[in-house]
Structure 1
Amino acid sequence: MIDSKPEELNTQERSAAQTTCCALLVEDSHHDEWLFRRAMEAVGRHVRLSSARDGDEAIAYLAGVGVYGNRAVHPLPSIVLLDIKLPRQSGFDVLHWVRASGGDLRQLPVVMMSTSARDRDVRQAYELGANAYVVKPDTYHELETCVDQIFGFWCDVNRSTGPRCS
């Protein structure tokens, strides 16, 4: 049901949703990660953001092996933001692994984030099971909007059976 006073959004619910959302950003560029974190802060998103620099590290994190075995320190994310062009294994390889792994990971939302707008890449991402495909914005202001919309949907609006962290 829609609240009769839309200007008085339930900030407690929004805050709770924001603080219980964990995300894994798989991005090999330190600069792009820094911009992403800065945009999150600028739009007031309080998401617990972990990062991985390559496909192997992303898989190790998601599998909870090695240094990522302690889920209190390295929680299973509520959403994965996955670049395509990564060292070792590509984002497509990671996405294939996630969807083939079984269990909770198969339903984990994965948003591909790439500079590529090629139809071939978009098609391949969806064929492998991506939940969304976002072309990385050209400007910082557009990145802020993009970050706010991604987390607004996947952490505030969307309801899943997947993991939520605090």
Structure 2
Amino acid sequence: MTMSDRARSNKRADILLIEDNPGDIRLTQEAFNESRIANTLHVVNDGIEALDFMNKRNGYEDAPRPDLILLDLNLPRKNGNEFLEELYETAPHLASIPVIVLTSSQAEEDIVKSYELRANAYMTKPVDPSEFIATIQTFEDFWLEVVRLPPARDDHE
């Protein structure tokens, strides 16, 4: 066990998955369950529910502040781009949470728009289930083992 492994084992990573496709949710859960990194995956199904989670309202009053957000773009009620716009307008104190877009879209305009709205990375979902799981595990290794994430700030700063 490396020093990084020991440091990570003391704190579980809270990851918010914003996804409406049950198959992709299941594959993501499977990938994280196979991981050696302790984490808790929280799942919401659309941008409105995600904003409620992030702002601790409408049944999410006890929701933890996520360490990372995995965001699909094609969501019902409020899509991924609308979620990003509103999140940073209404809760600028949450802007330090890395947002990784994980979507089926390969459209250049979606990539550009996501980065304009402050996404930290843009990943295209592989169609093959084993490739999808490998992609999630690579994401997890990078974002939870290699990258140093900012410490959580008070929710009202």
Contact (CA 8 Å) 1:43, 1:144: kept in 2 or not?
Answer: no
What is the match of residue 59 of structure 2?
Answer: 67
Contact (CA 8 Å) 1:100, 1:106: kept in 2 or not?
Answer: no
What is the match of residue 20 of structure 1?
Answer: 12
Seq. identity, %: 29
Q: Which secondary structure does the structure 1 equivalent of 2:140 belong to? A: helix
C-alpha offsets along residues 93-129 of structure 1, whole Å, 9 cap, x if unaligned? 1111222234431111000111010101000000111
The unaligned stretches of length 5 or more in structure 1 are 1-8
Q: Normalised by the size of structure 2, how large is the TM-score?
A: 0.88
The aligned amino acid for 1:119 is E
What is the match of residue 121 of structure 2?
Answer: 132
User: Which moves more between the two structures, 143-152 or 79-88?
Assistant: 143-152
Could you tell me how far apart the structure 2 residues matched to 1:153 and 1:60 are?
28
C-alpha offsets along residues 14-67 of structure 1, whole Å, 9 cap, x if unaligned? 254264211000001122101110122234343111010111000000011121
Bigger RCO of structures 1 and 2 (CA < 8 A, at least 6 apart): 1
After TM superposition, list the pairs within 5 Å mapping 1:92-103 onto structure 2: 92-103=81-92
The aligned amino acid for 1:66 is N
User: Which moves more between the two structures, 78-87 or 154-163?
Assistant: 154-163
Contact (CA 8 Å) 1:136, 1:143: kept in 2 or not?
Answer: yes
The aligned amino acid for 1:23 is I
1:162 is displaced (CA, Å) by 3.8
What is the match of residue 3 of structure 1?
Answer: none
Give the total of aligned pairs: 152
The unaligned stretches of length 5 or more in structure 2 are none
The aligned amino acid for 2:5 is R
**Where has structure 1 moved over 4 Å in runs of 4 or more?**
none
Q: Normalised by the size of structure 1, how large is the TM-score?
A: 0.83
Match of 1:39 among 5, 11, 31: 31
Choose 1 or 2 for highest CA Rg: 1
User: Which moves more between the two structures, 139-148 or 28-37?
Assistant: 139-148
Contact (CA 8 Å) 2:8, 2:38: kept in 1 or not?
Answer: no
Could you tell me how far apart the structure 2 residues matched to 1:16 and 1:147 are?
21
Q: Which secondary structure does the structure 1 equivalent of 2:143 belong to? A: helix
What is the match of residue 4 of structure 1?
Answer: none
The RMSD of aligned alpha carbons is 1.9
1:138 is displaced (CA, Å) by 1.8
What is the match of residue 144 of structure 1?
Answer: 133
User: Which moves more between the two structures, 97-106 or 86-95?
Assistant: 97-106
